[in-house]
Amino acid sequence: MSEKLSVTTCLWFENKGIEAARFYVSLIPDSRLLTDAAVGDSPMIVDFELAGSPYRILNGGPHYKLNPACSIAVTTPGQAETDRIWDALVDDGGEAGRCGWLIDRWGVSWQVVPAELATMLGASDREAAARAQEAMMGMSRIDIEKMQAAFEAG
């Protein structure tokens, strides 16, 4: 066997997968569309990469629905990038959730969080981590400055 094994996350869409993939690759740096499709075309399978990670959309009809049990997690390098990606995904029909979660206009669940979040929540100072987590629980979009203030409030 000379071919390399590959693993790809596949998302079931009713339709409009190419539209979603084009939007996603325009939003996330270092991303690309791998399926060649003309504007207006609706291929059954759409392959793309987000920040180097492979994804596939299967335009399979109304048989299955996306749900928050599976989400795309985006770790951002700071608040500005968190805000940019969050706003783009929630705009035009998306729905803000809690603690950095959202559902975009196609029904895909996302977690958009600054890298600092994991550092705070995983800190060896468990009391500080608990304060940061409690601050996060009241948030929709993550506000890292507010979490940092809670973390340091000890």
pLDDT in tens, 102-143: 999 999 999 999 999 999 999 999 999 999 999 999 999 999
Q: How far apart are CA 113 and CA 132, in angstroms?
A: 14
Q: Do both 70 and 59 map to the same domain?
A: no
H or E segment at 29?
none
Structure tokens at 1: 């066997």
Beta strands at 109-114 and 71-76: parallel, antiparallel or unpaired: parallel
Question: What type of residue sits at position 123?
Answer: A
Q: Do both 95 and 138 map to the same domain?
A: yes
What is the pLDDT, as a whole number, of residue 1? Answer: 59
Q: Do both 102 and 131 map to the same domain?
A: yes
pLDDT digits (tens, 9 = 90+) for 111-120: 999 999 999 9
What is the pLDDT, as a whole number, of residue 36? Answer: 84
Return the CATH number at 94: 3.10.180.10
pLDDT band for 37, please (50, 70, 90 cuts): confident
Question: What type of residue sits at position 41?
Answer: D
Q: Which domain does 54 fall in, by range?
A: 1-65
Last residue of a domain, one of 38, 65, 92: 65
For residues 53 and 98, the answer to whether their CB atoms sit within 8 Å is: no
Q: Do both 50 and 100 map to the same domain?
A: no
Three-class DSSP category at 45 = strand
Number of domains in the chain: 2
Q: Do both 53 and 112 map to the same domain?
A: no
Q: Do both 14 and 52 map to the same domain?
A: yes
Q: Do both 123 and 144 map to the same domain?
A: yes
Last residue of a domain, one of 65, 95, 121: 65
Q: Stretch 5-9: mean pLDDT, rounded?
A: 94
Q: Do both 143 and 94 map to the same domain?
A: yes
Say what percent of the chain tops pLDDT 70.
98
Q: Is the sign of the CA dihedral 108, 70, 138, 121 positive or negative?
A: negative
Q: Do both 71 and 127 map to the same domain?
A: yes
Q: Stretch 72-99: mean pLDDT, rounded?
A: 97
Residue that is written with structure tokens 């601050």 in the block: 135
Q: How far apart are CA 143 and CA 116, in angstroms?
A: 11
Question: What type of residue sits at position 154?
Answer: G
Q: Taking 90 as the threshold, does the pLDDT of residue 95 lie above it?
A: yes
